Amino acid sequence: METLRYELRGSRPVKRVDPVLVGVVASGNLEVLIEAGVPGLCVFQIETSARGFGTIWEAVIRDFHERHDFAGTRVSIHDMGATPAVVSLRLEQAASSLAGDLR
């Protein structure tokens, strides 16, 4: 297990308070939970079964944040060795559930 954490400044606050959960905790897959967080920040907390992929995680997270620029949110990820393709797909699925809830 490895834990990674990224705190990025965002400018699009999310008003929704109900958490959004997509994906499953299964081999090659992952679970993404988005919930309300610290104002002005988008905090990513990643627990992954595969060690040593920090560079790739950071690149995936930064690209996602560049697209959505969420603020006041906390994104928790439980990863079971998903490829970056699956990670990006799940993040987009979670983000789309929030789309109607932007302030």
Partner 1 sequence: MNHSDIGTTLWNRRATRRQARLARVSQRLGPALSHSCGGKLVATDSAVALLSSVLECGDRVCLEGNNQKQADFLAKALVQLDAKSVHDLHMVQSVLSLPEHLDVFELGIASRLDFSFSGPQGARLARLLAQGRLSIGAIHTYLELFGRYFVDLTPHVSLIAAQSVDAEGNLYTGANTEDTPVIVEATAFSGGIVIAQVNEIVEKVPRIDVPAGWVDFVVKAPKPNLIEPLFTRDPAQISEIQVLMAMMAIKGIYAEYGVQRLNHGIGFDTAAIELLLPTYGESLGLKGKICKHWALNPHPALIPAIEAGWVQTVHSFGSELGMEDYIRARSDVFFTGADGSMRSNRALCQAAGHYACDLFIGSTLQMDLAGNSSTATLGRITGFGGAPNMGADARGRRHASAAWLKAGEQSRAGLTGARGTPRGQKLVVQMVETFREHMHPAFVEKLDAWELAEQSKMPLPPIMIYGEDVTHVLTEEGIANLLLCRTDEEREQAIRGVAGYTPVGLARDKRMVENLRDRGVIRRAADLGIDVRDATRNLLAARSMRELALASGGLYEPPPRFRNW
Q: Check: CB of residue 36 under 8 Å from CB of residue 16.
A: yes
In whole angstroms, the minimum distance from the beta carbon of 75 to partner 1 comes to 17
Residues that bind partner 1 (rule: CB under 8 A) add up to a total of 16
Of 50, 66, 77, 98, the one binding partner 1 by CB under 8 A: 50
Q: Applying CB under 8 A, which part among 10-18, 33-41, 69-77, 86-94 lies near partner 1? A: 86-94
Pairwise CA distance, residues 70 & 53, whole Å: 24
Q: Check: CB of residue 31 under 8 Å from CB of residue 21.
A: yes
Pairwise CA distance, residues 18 & 38, whole Å: 15
Site of interaction with partner 1 (CB under 8 A) = 50, 53, 55-56, 59-60, 81, 83-86, 88-89, 92-93, 96
